[in-house]
Amino acid sequence: MSQQLSVIPPGELVRQSTDIAGLCKEIVLRSSVEIEGRKYVRVEGWQSIATAHGCVASACNVKRIEGGYVATGEIRRMQDGSLICSAEGFVGEDETTWFGGEGTKYNYKTKRREPHTFPKRADYAIRAMCQTRAISRACRSAFAHVVVLMDAGLSTTPAEEVPDGGFNDAEPSREETLNTAPTKPAAQSTLTGLVVKLVSLVSKPDAAKQAWQVVFDGGEKAGTFDAEIARRCGQYLENERKVDVTLQESERVKGSYIIVAVEDAP
C-alpha cells in the first residue's frame, strides 16, 4: 500500500505556530535567562516547544574530538519516530569556564569583565553541557520562528551558548563608552579644495541637532555636526572659493572624519 505525503497549507502552519507560541509562552519566559538586557531561551523552554509540536528532543553520539566535545541533537516526531531536524552541540577547550585556565569573569556589580582563574569542570559536566547545547541548537533550527512569535525581546540564540556576561561584541553601554574613551586627542588633518556639495542629513531643516555632509572637488567627503561650520561651507560653495578645512578623526565612528574648522585658503 503506497503512502502519500500530506502537505499542510502554509496558512495552517502559521496558525499552528501561533497557537503553540501562546501555549508555551509562560514556561519559555519563566525558564529564560536575562544576560546583559537580553532574554535567552533555556533548554527547558525549547523542549516544551518541541513537545507541543508532538516531537521529542534528544542528544546522542557524544564524542571527544580534537579541540573539545561534540554531540548531535535530534528532533523526532513522537508518532512515528521520523527525524525532523538535527544539529551539533560543541564545548571547546578554549572555553575556560569548562576546561579551566586563565580568563575573565563578568562582574554583575561593576558590569565589567575581570581576570579570573577557572578550575576544570568534571568530564561528565562537560559532556552534559555538550548534549544540552545540541538539544537546544536542534530545537532552535526547527522552532526559532515560534520564539519570535512569543516575544520580540527573546533571542533565538540558545541560552547555553551565551558566555558569562554576554557576548564580547555586544554594543557597550553609554557609561562604558564614556569610561573607556581615549584620553589623547583624535588625529587631525587639513584638506584644501572647492566645496561642490553640501548635504543636510536631517529630514527637518530646523531640527535641534544639525548633521551635514560636505563633498569637495577631489571627491573627499566629511561630516560635521556644527551648524555654523555648515553655513560657512555653504557660503564657500556659492562663491566657488577654495577653503582650508581642518578634519578630525571621529571618536564615535572609526575611519570617518568631522570638520572642526573652515578657513580661506591662501
The pTM assigned to this predicted structure is: 0.60
Q: What is the 3-state secondary structure (H, E, C) of 97-142?
A: HHHCEEEEEEECCCCEEEEEEECCCCHHHHHHHHHHHHHHHHHHHH
pLDDT by residue for the chain (266 residues), tens only, comes to: 334 435 567 677 778 888 998 989 999 999 999 887 789 999 999 999 999 999 999 999 999 999 999 999 999 999 999 999 999 999 999 898 999 988 888 777 777 778 888 899 999 999 999 999 999 999 999 999 899 888 778 899 999 998 877 775 544 443 333 344 444 444 555 656 666 666 665 544 444 445 566 776 666 666 665 566 666 666 666 666 676 767 666 665 555 566 667 677 66
Q: Where are the chain's structural domains?
A: 10-176, 188-264
Q: Could you report how far apart the first and last alpha carbons of the chain are, in Å?
A: 93
What number of other Cβ atoms are within 10 A of residue 177's Cβ? 12
- State which fold the 188-264 domain adopts: OB fold (Dihydrolipoamide Acetyltransferase, E2P) (2.40.50)
Q: Which helix (H) or strand (E) holds 52?
A: helix 43-52
